[in-house]
């Protein structure tokens, strides 16, 4: 089902990182793209560069989200927006847990609820969910983040059941470490924090880039209509999910 079969796309978190890269790729492929994000200024910058139609809305506000996208005919939905936090559940703040559930999980469900019926009616559509290796493998990180990404993994599988018999494809993109702003935002989002994050997590590493993710999505969508690429793990060559800790106590 090549891009010529599709007319429109909606990308969440389109103002930066993977969302901006995917938006740019889609517009180059001739799609009308609607970009959703809270930050209207950054969204406008991407819109000016790509021709994307900006929809500045907080995806955690379900009523506002439904009003913004409910009347659109969307052929490709990319659930990309996500938030994370440092630490783990032992020192988690209520607001950070709620934010991860609301952005990473609840908004994904509602966007599928709002837009998938139209795809089913038209017998055409593709849902791309950005999850994380944190949803498939356990390692040290924020428990709520791991939990929400594991849920996105299951949603991606379940959507194909919901749409069985229709020409609806669902692809889960499961990245390892990608060069985005997420670590810098976790450290406070200041220029100093962004520099610290770069030096700590990216400098000297061969990380995945946002273009790599956009290229992977392009490959999945460009596959023939009878082919559904359900789960694609995208990791740096030098990053592996592995290891098993076993703590010995002497008390």
The pLDDT value recorded for residue 2 is: 72
The pLDDT value recorded for residue 142 is: 92
Dihedral Cα 21, 61, 64, 14, nearest 10 deg: 0
- CA distances 32 to 11, 49, 75, 156, Å, are 11, 14, 10, 24
The pLDDT value recorded for residue 218 is: 98
Catalytic residue check, 145:
yes
Burial bucket for residue 7 (CB in 10 Å: 0-12, 13-18, 19+): middle
> Topology of domain 3-181+209-233, per CATH?
Rossmann fold (3.40.50)
Domain definitions of the chain by residue range: 3-181+209-233
CB 124 within 8 A of CB 74: no
The CB density around residue 237, as the number of other CB atoms within 10 Å, is 8
The pLDDT value recorded for residue 114 is: 98
- φ, ψ for residue 139, nearest 5 deg: -150, 175
The pLDDT value recorded for residue 196 is: 77
Active-site option among 34, 137, 140, 145? 145
| Structure-token match 């990180």, residue found | 141
- pLDDT tens for the chain, 251 residues long, are 578 899 999 999 999 999 999 999 999 999 999 999 999 999 999 999 999 999 999 999 999 999 999 999 999 999 999 999 888 999 999 999 999 999 999 999 999 999 999 999 999 999 999 999 999 999 888 999 999 999 999 999 999 999 999 999 999 999 999 887 777 676 677 877 778 777 777 788 888 999 999 999 999 999 999 999 999 999 999 999 888 787 878 88
Bridge partners of residue 129, in order along the sequence: 79, 172
The pLDDT value recorded for residue 46 is: 97
Q: What is the pTM of this model?
A: 0.93
The pLDDT value recorded for residue 205 is: 82
């Amino acid at each position: 089902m090549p891009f010529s079969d599709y007319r429109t796309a909606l990308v969440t978190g389109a103002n930066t990182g993977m969302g901006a890269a995917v938006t740019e790729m889609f517009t180059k492929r001739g799609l009308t793209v609607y970009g959703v994000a809270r930050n209207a200024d950054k969204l406008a910058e991407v819109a000016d560069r790509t021709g994307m139609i900006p929809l500045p809305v907080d995806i955690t506000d379900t009523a506002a989200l439904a009003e913004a996208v409910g009347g659109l005919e969307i052929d490709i939905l990319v659930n990309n927006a996500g938030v994370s936090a440092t630490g783990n559940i032992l020192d988690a703040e209520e607001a950070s847990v709620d934010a991860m559930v609301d952005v990473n999980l609840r908004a994904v469900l509602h966007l599928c609820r709002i837009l998938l019926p139209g795809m089913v009616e038209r017998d055409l559509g593709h849902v791309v969910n950005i999850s994380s290796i944190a949803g498939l493998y356990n390692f040290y990180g924020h428990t709520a983040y791991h939990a929400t990404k594991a849920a996105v993994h299951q949603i991606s599988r379940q959507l194909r059941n919901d749409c069985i018999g229709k020409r609806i494809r669902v692809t889960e993109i499961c990245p390892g470490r990608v060069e985005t702003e997420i670590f810098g935002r976790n450290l406070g989002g200041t220029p100093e924090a962004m520099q610290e994050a770069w030096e700590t997590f990216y400098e000297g590493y061969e990380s995945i880039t946002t273009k790599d993710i956009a290229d992977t999505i392009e490959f999945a969508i460009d596959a023939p209509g009878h082919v559904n690429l359900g789960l694609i793990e995208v990791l740096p060559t030098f990053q592996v999910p592995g290891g098993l800790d076993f703590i010995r106590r002497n008390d």
